[in-house]
Amino acid sequence: EMEGLRDLPAVTSDGSRITLNANIGLLSDIRVANLHGAEGVGLYRTEFPYMTRTAFPNRNEQAALYRKVLEGFPNQTVNIRTLDIGGDKGLPYFPFPHEDNPFLGWRSIRFSLEREDIFREQLAGILLASPAGHPTIMFPLISSVDEIRQIRFILAEVSKELHQSGHDTLQNVPLGIMIEIPAAVQIVDFLLEEVDYVSIGTNDLIQYTLAADRNNQRVKQYYDPHHPAVLHSIKRVADAAAQAGKKVSICGEMAADPLNALLLLGMGIREFSLSAPSIPLVKQAIRANPLEECQRLAEAVLICRSSYDVRQVLLEARSTLQ
Ligand code: PEP
Ligand code: MG
């Protein structure tokens, strides 16, 4: 039954088209994504190629790899996320300085903007590979408009240098950011003016919104996707993107649960990026239910004052939804 789903579109029973992309990291994930009927790549985590080496890869090494990834999705978009290192993700050849709070520290885009040499090398690698497919570039852990302006300035310089040295690269590759810090939710309207699209990283957004380490079992009851603060943050981003006429997707684990996906659908999200094996079940849920029902569910959930109440509503929905 799941086999047959692969080539069917993710469309609600009342006709709304939803996009289901895959999260990938390794080359072997290309096959897994295609196998599960992904429509593209909503999140390519580029830190994996950095992790499995003995030194920072140069632009040509990266370009060779990114080309292979782009060629793995000939008619589809691949959303390449720049290096998201630090926090819990180390590199065997780079000694990160000790920090008391690494998740509040030197990680992700903050690393890239300080180690501009490494960042430029990655952007060059992506641009060199760009003619091989349909890339977009996404930046993680954005907390301000200034960061985006700094990124655009650097990217323009890298692009210019490549052209001056005779390289053929795509012009105007779409640029997006991840919304995964509460500050980004608060200023999402301003951020949207600076980029082509946004993607909500619920793994980190939940962690930072609720001040609960995503890897700490001790506080796992605080790490709660159904907390009203999390749900209203997502709703705010969805509304702001619709208002701005820009694309919004969700690429965190939260949407891998079919009922959560229906809830998020009801809140206005039309594009998801999931670990590929989660795609069939989510697609099945989408195809079995009308959008109208999802919107009713979202309405009922968004007036809840507590996670407990949210879970009661979801439990009830389990019996009415397919
Ligand atoms: C997220 O934070 O939700 C996300 C998709 O990125 P990562 O899990 O790689 O931090
Ligand atoms: Mg993240």
- Give the model confidence (pLDDT) of 233-258 as tens digits: 999 999 999 999 999 999 999 999 99
Q: Is 47 in the pocket of ligand 1 (CB under 6 A)?
A: no
Report the chain's mean pLDDT, rounded to a whole number. 97
Q: How remote is the CA of residue 245 from the centroid of ligand 2, in Å? A: 24
| pLDDT band, residue 2 (cuts 50/70/90) | low
Backbone angles phi, psi at 205, to 5 degrees: -60, -40
ipTM for this prediction: 0.99
Task: Round to whole Å and give the CA distance between 62 and 128.
Answer: 9
Is 215 a residue whose pLDDT tops 90? yes
Give 50-117 as a DSSP string.
HHTSSS---HHHHHHHHHHHHHTSTTSEEEEEP---BTTB-BTTB-PPP-S-GGGSS-THHHHHHSHH
What's the gap in Å between 201 CA and the centre of ligand 1?
5
Q: How confident is the model at residue 189 (pLDDT cuts 50, 70, 90)?
A: very high
Phi, psi dihedral angles at 54 (to 5 degrees): -115, -5
Confidence of residue 1 (pLDDT cuts 50, 70, 90): low
How far is ligand 2, taken at its centre, from the CA of residue 82, in Å?
11
Q: Which atom of ligand 1 lies closest to the CA of 84?
A: 9
φ/ψ of 267, rounded to 5, equals -85, 0
Whether the per-residue pLDDT at 65 is higher than 80: the answer is: yes
pLDDT (tens digit per residue) in 255-313: 999 999 999 999 999 999 999 999 999 999 999 999 999 999 999 999 999 999 999 99
| Ligand 1, atom 4, residue with closest C-alpha | 201
Atom 8 in ligand 1: which residue has the minimum CA distance?
203
**pTM of this structure:** 0.97
Q: Among 271, 289, 263, which residue's Cα sits nearest to residue 19? A: 271
* Closest ligand 1 atom number to CA of residue 45: 9
Ligand 1 touching residue 29 (CB < 6 A): no
Report pLDDT digits (tens) over 70-128: 999 999 999 999 999 999 889 999 999 999 999 999 999 999 999 999 999 999 999 99
For residue 175, is it left (φ>0), alpha (ψ between -120 and 50) or beta? beta
